[in-house]
Amino acid sequence: MRHHENGAVLHVGGRLWERDESQYELRKANQRWEPVGEFRGLSGDQQMAVKILRESGGMGATEAGRHLGVTKQSAYDRLEALARSGTIKKTNGTYYAA
């Protein structure tokens, strides 16, 4: 299980696992983890950040924070994680959708 800002992703597999799906998104509700559906690669918040970068043509963490409704530091952390994964690009402090 890998945690992210909106919940967690559970990877299931093994030699007896015969299903095509192997990653599921989970959310914590009612004091337990509940499956939401198949995990598609990016959380909703990450998808929103990429969408905003794509529409704007690129921006810094301060401006991204205003668009996402989060602090500059939170936007910076989110954008840096996306840049490390190769989902977006960073040049001279400006982030761009890849």
Across the range 12-22, mean pLDDT stands at 69
Residue 22's pLDDT band, with cuts at 50, 70 and 90, is: low
- Share the mean pLDDT of the chain: 83
User: Contact 82/74 with Cβ under 8 angstroms?
Assistant: no
Extract the tokens encoding 60.
């810094």
Residue at token pair 């939170």: 74
In this prediction the pTM is 0.61
Task: Give the residue with greater pLDDT, 80 vs 44.
Answer: 80
Q: pLDDT tens for residues 45-79? A: 888 899 999 999 999 999 999 999 999 999 999 89
Residue at token pair 């299980």: 1
The domains found in the chain, sorted by start residue, are 2-38 (no CATH), 44-97 (1.10.10.10)
